[in-house]
Structures are given as C-alpha cells and as structure tokens.
Amino acid sequence: MSGILQNRASRSRTATSRPAGERPASALPPRPSRLGQTVATAVVGLVLLVSAATLDVEWSDLRGLPAAVAEYAALMFADPDWSRLPRALFEMWRSISMAWLGAMLCVVVSIPLGMLAAQGVGPAWLRLALRGLFAVIRAVPEVIIALVLLTVTGLTPFTGALALGIAGIGTQGKWTYETVETLRDGAADAVRAAGGGRTAVVRWALWPAALPALLSFALYRFEINIRMSAVLGIVGAGGIGSMLANYTNYREWDTVGMLLIVVVVTTMAVDAVSGALRRRIMEGA
C-alpha cells in the first residue's frame, strides 16, 4: 500500500515539474483548420448564385418544358421518314471518314510532340513551350477552329477533319506526356546502363511501354470525333450534321427523327467496337 502511494506521489511531482508551455504526451493534437475550405466553398456558392440570378431566363417556362419535349419527340419519332435513309447513311459515312482522318492527323502530330513534352525527354524550354501550346489548343472549341478554317478551306469535309485534328492535338498531347511520365524507370535505367542516350531510351524503353495506352487514347479520340463531326456539320463542315441542320431549319421533323436515329445507332456501334479494341489492347486476349 505504501508503494502505491509513493508511485502516485512521484507521478504528481513529475506532472507539477513539467514546464508550463509543454503539452502532455497524451494530449490530442490541435484540430486542423478548415477555414480555407470553408471560404472556397462559400465563394463557389456565391458565384453560382450570382450567375443564376443574372441570367436572362424565365424560370417559369421550365414548367412547360416536359410537354414541349414530348410534343417534338412525337413529331420526330412517331413516324420517321425513311425515304432519305440512303443519303443519310452516305452523309454518316462522310462524318465517320472526317472523324477518322482527324484522329489520324491528331495522333501523327501529337504523339511525337507529347513525348518531347515529357519530363526527362525534351529540354525544359521545349517542354514548357509545348505544354503551353497544348493548353492553348484545348482552350479553343472545335467549332471555333472550324469557323476560322472555313475562311481558308471553304465548306468541305476536309475543313471538319482538319478542325478535329487540330483540336485533338491539345488533349492527345497532354495524354501522351502524362502517360510517359507515369512509366516506371526500370527499362529506361537499363538502357542508360547499357550506354544508350536519350534517343535510345525513348526508342527502346519509353515507346514500347507507352504504346498500348497511346493506342487506346487514339481510339478514344476517334470516338470523340464521331460525336463532334455531327456538330461541325451544323456550321457547314459537311457530313450528317449539315443534313441535320438543313432539315431542322425546314421544320421537317420526321426526317430529323430519322437522322437522329442514324446518328445514335452509328455512334453506339462505333463506341462498342472501339471499346472492345481498347480493352483488347490494354488487357490482352
């Protein structure tokens, strides 16, 4: 009993002898401040509220939107006009060709530039310049690029393909250098240990390892171009989009419904095939 009392007394003397500013070992750390997160959330919420309040929108019209959508859906899909299906298929094929040509142009240009923009491949000044170029291209929509090219190349499908190719360089280039930078350094170190220079490292270490991912990204870019080709056709670049814009202006809703069915079915089929190819590339047989 006396030993227990002596231990308690010694612990109390130790506690009283601790400096005033020293925290006990068992005390919890201070709770992290969430002031920055709270302020950022409040600012974002305020921006959203101001944006919604300053829009020139009659919010009461939203109540009639479901009825209007149902009305036009009935006009388009109740009895589609299949008499123009052959021409629609031909224009859809032109859109697919436009998307494929744009994807190939994008891949041929963006992959070499993207690899030069990767850390450890190109010099610092070149990396910064290329990454800045990719960011500028990504900031410009495909429609704006097509409108600029229309003044040079005219109203042709080549304009749409060129616009899709230029617009895809920004995204594809970013995917390329990010893919190269995430690769493991084992193969590159082995090539350097064997006496290989920077070119040998790219050729025998980085390129074989990055190729499956880059091919997958190229196919995904083709899927995106299929959708965008219809949009570019609306501004005069040809393809199914031009046909869709013309019949929409003429208010021939039964033909518009048929064109939308062709676009949706074709896009889903291309996505299914492209997705299967991408899985085969990334995962094997």
Class of domain 84-283: mainly alpha
Which residues, at least 6 apart from 204, have a Cβ–Cβ distance to it below 8 Å? 187, 191, 196
The reported pLDDT for the residue numbered 113 is 92
pLDDT in tens, 64-80: 788 888 888 888 888 88
Q: Which of 150, 169, 166, 140 is nearest to 234 (CA)?
A: 150
Q: How far apart are CA 200 and CA 188, in angstroms?
A: 9
Going by pLDDT thresholds of 50, 70 and 90, the confidence category of residue 5 is: very low
For 205, phi then psi, to 5°, come to -120, -55
pLDDT in tens, 134-178: 999 999 888 888 888 888 777 777 888 888 999 999 999 999 999
For the chain, the first-to-last Cα distance in angstroms comes to 77
| Rounded distance between C-alpha atoms, residue 113 and residue 205, angstroms | 17
**Structural contact between residues 259 and 240, judged by C-beta atoms closer than 8 angstroms:** yes
Residues 216, 280 contacting (CB under 8 angstroms): no
Query: Which residue from 86, 98, 52 is spatially nearest to 224, judged by alpha carbons?
Result: 98
Where are the chain's structural domains?
Answer: 84-283
Q: What is the pTM of this model?
A: 0.73
Between 35-39, 90-94, 192-196, the lowest mean confidence (pLDDT) is in: 192-196
Give the separation between CA 285 and CA 280, rounded to whole angstroms.
6
Q: Shortest CA distance to 142 belongs to which of 226, 216, 220? A: 226
- Quote helix, strand, coil % in the chain, to nearest 5: 80, 0, 20
Please list, residue by residue across 97-112, b when 16 or more beta carbons sit within 10 angstroms of its beta carbon and e when fewer do: bbbbbbbebbbebbbe
Quick one: pLDDT at residue 131?
Answer: 93
